[in-house]
Chains A and B, each alone.
Chain A
């Protein structure tokens, strides 16, 4: 099954390679990975989405924790979380389809952040399902380019990792 794992790590060169190496070593493909610094600039936060056997992932989580540069690891498997992803989608927008696309963007509470004579660049934020839905609808017009940030997640309520 799919797991969302958060790791707080030292903000140092090579840490990403150490973390991703543990997954690669077992032939696991990381579905998405988002990394950036936190409110403490010496600490980075990684959100890793990976699919695979539960017991193997439990092993990997323990192994992650053993890395010297890893401060904390949480697998959100049984923890209620809020999660978001952001995508930018550059889609064909001819004069005849522009109104339609703009309406769709409105309904999804997305944003058009750039316009050319042939395209819109749309920013959409939300759950993975919402981003998928937007992408599917826009596919009909011809997507020229698409980039997704990968999932980021937090526990619901006052809890922190």
Chain B
């Protein structure tokens, strides 16, 4: 079949099972958009900013487990993807970004809308390509998808000069590309698995610490089985939320800086820490030399570069979480409940998550969203206090239910990610939980939602300030509130209406449930709820950055 490079791109994407792309056209993308015009089976969603496109592809990927795809033109279109790619890279999310580029003959000559996007994105993509020949398109697209979704997943960018899009080639689909230099290790070493099983049998105070790797490898059932068989309690990272149902008695919720006190106590006192698909991020460990200092560490991860990166590991197992845990389950003997379980349960009783009832608390709104959706909704968050409250109070039942920028901490992620998730899971309720600061960073995507009848619900926990920064200034900078006042803000109700969505303002606690219920009745457009919450509320527990559990503030120190 003799077709153009642009047509070959579309065919190759369809061959990879892609039926949806988020994109924004431009000059050098014209041949590709022309090929999209009458192609069947590939839907293009026009976003309002390329960053929104990248985050939507990311949200789609996190919610569905498939590879998300976004298009952008050369120059500013491509540079607008950068934050989205970096977000996906830090959280190991598979997306493929296609960017247009100036003609190969103009490369490096400062042509109109030229930017060296492969150079710019080198450190924030798993791999990238600058195409020079139309004939390479089928192979490169197949490689890009293979790289994005296999091993430790991540974003891949393909930069396509305009003459590569218009050039002709004999199209033949490429399946299972062979990349000689890329062979991720997926099966754990059997001897290491035996050592791990022995260590688990010998441990008196074990804890499971699971992260995003469990979600991406689909290992949640194995984590649950391991926990139920051994009665080892489970704490998750932000990205690991839902790896074990947080309603399960074995769940300790999230650990780390704003994790539950009991999860942090359990880790601090354990004698065996079984880390699965987690990377000992500084927000998890705090001060490294005292983190889990009594514990032997088993680290199961697909990425050998994560082993021993920050924490000394006694039993490293390089491999896919699901494969390794399946192997481990064949070896692990059942264990009963022990005094250690009782001890953790006691901590759970002594240090529950809590908040006040003398006003409209942000945590209350999150709990009510959980109740109204029976804990079934997908939640996408922005970044800040509301993100941590959602992590604490929205008890995820499933993996892929909680979408949040963990590693990069990208404000502006939540709204477009929520839109992407709703495209991927149209039958699920999708809530975006946002702050009044971060919602404004990609607010233009309201239009994408309205234009496509995307009935997401946006809950703005509006405290009139950049709450997380304000919290640090309150606690560590003598209440010198610098650059955090957000009281000059749009009327979010009118703003939602201006876009063609539904706006609501909720100022009293007793109106919260009603508003959420009403929002659930709207199924043809987005609903933006402006919850006017307590402005001075802080996120606790908190372990200050780089410190140990000794410094944990379970509640406000005053």
| Interface set of A (CB-CB < 8 Å, partner B) | 9-10, 13-14, 17-18, 21, 25, 58-59, 62-63, 65-71
Contacts and interface: CB of A to CB of B under 8 A. Distances in A.
A68 to B, nearest CB: 4
Given A13-B130, A62-B305, A69 B181 contact: yes
A68 B130 contact: no
B305 A17 contact: no
Interface in B286-317: 303-305, 308-309
Contacts of B119: 14, 17
A68 B152 CA distance: 12
B1 interface: no
Contacts of B118: 14
A96 to B, nearest CB: 51
Contacts of A66: 303-305
Contact of B179 (A25, A62, A63, A68): A68
Given A21-B123, A68-B181, A68-B182, 8 more contacts: A10-B181, A14-B130, A17-B119, A62-B305, A63-B305, A65-B304, A68-B147, A69-B127
B160 to A, nearest CB: 15
A89 to B, nearest CB: 35
Contact of B304 (A13, A18, A62, A68): A62
Given A14-B118, A68-B181, A59 B305 contact: yes
Given A10-B181, A14-B130, A21 B122 contact: yes
A113 B304 CA distance: 48
Nearest to A42: B180
Contacts of A9: 181
Contacts of B179: 68
14 contacts: A10-B181, A13-B130, A14-B118, A14-B119, A17-B119, A59-B305, A59-B309, A66-B304, A66-B305, A67-B127, A68-B126, A68-B147, A68-B181, A71-B181
B180 A68 contact: no
Given A17-B119, A18-B122, A62-B304, A71 B180 contact: yes
Nearest to A71: B181
A25 B123 contact: yes
- Lowest 6 A-B CB distances belong to which pairs? A62-B305, A71-B181, A68-B127, A68-B182, A63-B305, A62-B304
A24 to B, nearest CB: 9
B159 to A, nearest CB: 11
Contacts of B305: 59, 62-63, 65-66
Nearest to B309: A59
Interface in B170-205: 179-182
B147 to A, nearest CB: 6
Contacts of B126: 68
A153 to B, nearest CB: 21
A68 B180 CA distance: 9
B157 to A, nearest CB: 12
A70 B181 contact: yes
With a 10 A CB-CB cut-off, give which of A9, A58, A62, A70 has the most chain B CB atoms.
Answer: A62
Nearest to B310: A59
A156 to B, nearest CB: 26
Nearest to B147: A68
Nearest to B118: A14
Nearest to A13: B130
B316 to A, nearest CB: 12
A133 to B, nearest CB: 39
Contacts of A71: 180-181
Which of A10, A58, A68, A71 lies at the interface centre, i.e. has the most chain B CB atoms within 10 A of its CB? A68
B181 A17 contact: no
